[in-house]
Amino acid sequence: MPRMLVVDDEMRIRMIIKEYAEWSGFEVVEAEDGMDAVSKVKLQDFDIIVMDIMMPKLDGYSACKEIRKLKQIPVIMLSARGEEYDKLFGFELGVDDYVVKPFSPKELMARVKAVLNRAKPAQQNTEEVITYQGLVINFTAREVTIDGQKASMTPKEYDLLFYLVRNMNIALSREKLLEEVWGFDFYGDDRTVDTHIKMLRNSLGPYRNLIVTLRGMGYKFEKIR
């Protein structure tokens, strides 16, 4: 049974999510603020976290940063605001999706399932490693090593890099990347892809040029001969 951590300072919101999640087959654990969430993640394992942004003691963004230091768990943020800046800031922290309040519990559960489905392939692959000079990409371990040093990337950077590498030398439009990496139900635009490409290039350092910009279209991963 998959385990979900629901983090919100409003008991009513937690109860609504818990009811629908349990009906969908999840075991649900509740946390009333960010500090409580981090404490529970230290002691327990979860398949996904649904977390509010605006909370006392420790907000959702800060809690996400602390959780990412401990474990790589998919996170869906609940937000009373829908501004693009807030979403991009969250994606830079590794947030997997956003749901704006007030929300439909059915839509939330659909997004939960979509995020979990996107996380499955990395867990099911057999050992697979691609090496180019000092760049080592391990799909199974979900690790990237650059000249002997383990790279620090957000979950979405890993997803984007892995998809680009699996489709090496193939031109990929921004729309295709949004559909395959973020999911067809993602609410966003081309700038989300561009922002993450910029982050990914920074993470790749000396191998940043392997990601080639296709003017007016998108990107491709291309080994330099």
Q: Are 133 and 104 in a shared domain?
A: no
pLDDT confidence of 142, banded at 50, 70, 90? confident
Confirm if 124 and 116 have CB atoms less than 8 A apart.
no
- Tell me, yes or no, whether 56 and 167 share the same domain: no
Identify whether residues 95 and 152 lie together within a single domain. no
Domain identity same for 95 and 174: no
Indicate the pTM of the whole model.
0.58
Residue 24 near residue 109 (C-beta atoms within 8 A): yes
pLDDT in tens, 37-92: 999 999 999 999 999 998 988 999 899 989 988 888 899 998 876 655 566 677 77
Q: Identify whether the C-beta of residue 159 lies closer than 8 Å to the C-beta of residue 118.
A: yes
Residues 216 and 180 in one domain: yes
Let me know whether 93 and 19 are in one domain.
yes
| 148 and 212 housed in the same domain | yes
Q: What CATH number has the domain bearing residue 194?
A: 1.10.10.10
Number of folded domains that form the chain: 2
> The domain that contains 9 carries what CATH number?
3.40.50.2300
Looking at 123, 146, 175, the residue that finishes a domain is 123
Q: Which of 123, 143, 172 delimits the end of a domain?
A: 123
Do 172 and 61 share a structural domain?
no
Query: Alpha helices, DSSP H only, in the chain?
Result: 11-23, 34-43, 60-70, 84-93, 105-124, 155-166, 174-177, 190-204
Query: Do 191 and 211 sit in the same domain of this protein?
Result: yes
Taking only the tens place, the pLDDT of each residue in 166-194 is 888 889 998 888 888 887 555 666 688 89
- 73 in the same domain as 112: yes
DSSP state letter for 209: G
Range of the domain at 22: 3-123
Q: Reading across the β-sheet that carries 143-146, which strands appear in turn?
A: 129-132, 135-138, 143-146, 149-150
